Amino acid sequence: MQVAPQPDHPDLTRRMTGIDHTGAPIDTSVTVEHALTLFLNGQEIVTMMTIGDHPECLAVGYLTNQNMLRADDDLTSVDVDTKKGHVFVKTARRTDYEWKLKRRTLTSGCAQGTAFGDVMERFDEVRLDPAARLQTSWLYALSRQINQTPSLYLTAGAIHGCVLCEQDRPLIYMEDVGRHNAVDKIAGYMRLNDITPAGKCFYTTGRLTSEMVIKTVQMELPILISRSGFTASGVELARQANLTLIGRAKGKRFICLAGAERLVFDQNPDTVAEEASGRNRKGAHDD
């Protein structure tokens, strides 16, 4: 992977003591949250709760997915003040989003994701690649590799993961307390490193909500996969955008509710092992 989770990073978890279901003392890892305030050309945009890694990617991805950064915007600087928990993004284009900041909507994302009133302004303009394909052998391989990758999700729970993939290879694996943050980090990484959506698909451990579908479409990724389930709004938007939407992908099982024409059934599911439940996998948390 170009970017992988860092479950052993000392700033991302903290050891805390308590008792378990038998009353016995227990010492366990818990995920740490930090407040990160984002500024665009000197204007305060939002304060996000995040685990604190990859703040530049989170800031740029958030602004891109909120349509505050245009595709042709020249980023002149992205600076982070770790002591104050601030990240400053500057562009060559002069911006003023005072009007936009008054139209906020709390999303169904964990840790109170925020969407602005015109977040859908690009949605109908995006044309997802109709020729993109997902072989079921790639899907099974991705689920297995991602599920077995050491991560905060397995170490401490209370976390969501998002992964940019190409065929059967995970490329960029980001985690955060909210799935909206994790997907924004990947969007930011793609923009900062000139990675195109061509030939890529997107995997998330979180629910397939309208927010996840909108952001995936805005990133021009034609395929979205999740371990978790769907919301009706998420499915309706995926069908509207011709996004392939696959949920409940665990072991040999999955459900596709949109864009099934992109699936290529090249592996017999009887050859794929069932996945152990979260309670039976060592250290695992099905959040």
Q: Each residue of 220-239: pLDDT tens digit? A: 999 999 999 999 999 999 99
- Please tell me the distance from the alpha carbon of residue 51 to that of residue 53, in angstroms, as a whole number: 6
pLDDT of residue 105: 42
Q: Each residue of 158-206: pLDDT tens digit? A: 899 999 999 999 999 999 998 899 999 999 999 999 999 999 999 999 9
- Please tell me the distance from the alpha carbon of residue 30 to that of residue 188, in angstroms, as a whole number: 26
Class (C level, CATH) for 134-271: alpha beta
Residues of the chain with pLDDT > 70, as a percent, come to 90
**Residue pair 34/55 in contact by the 8 Å Cβ criterion:** no
- For residue 202, CA distances in Å to 98, 111, 214, 269 come to 32, 21, 13, 21
Give the residue extent of every domain in the chain: 134-271
pTM for this one?
0.89
Q: Which helix (H) or strand (E) holds 68?
A: none
Average pLDDT score, the chain: 90
Q: Each residue of 79-119: pLDDT tens digit? A: 999 999 999 999 999 998 877 776 554 443 444 455 545 56
Tally of CA atoms within 13 A in the half-sphere of 227 that contains its CB = 23
Three-state DSSP at 88 gives strand
201: how many CB neighbours lie within 10 A of its CB? 25
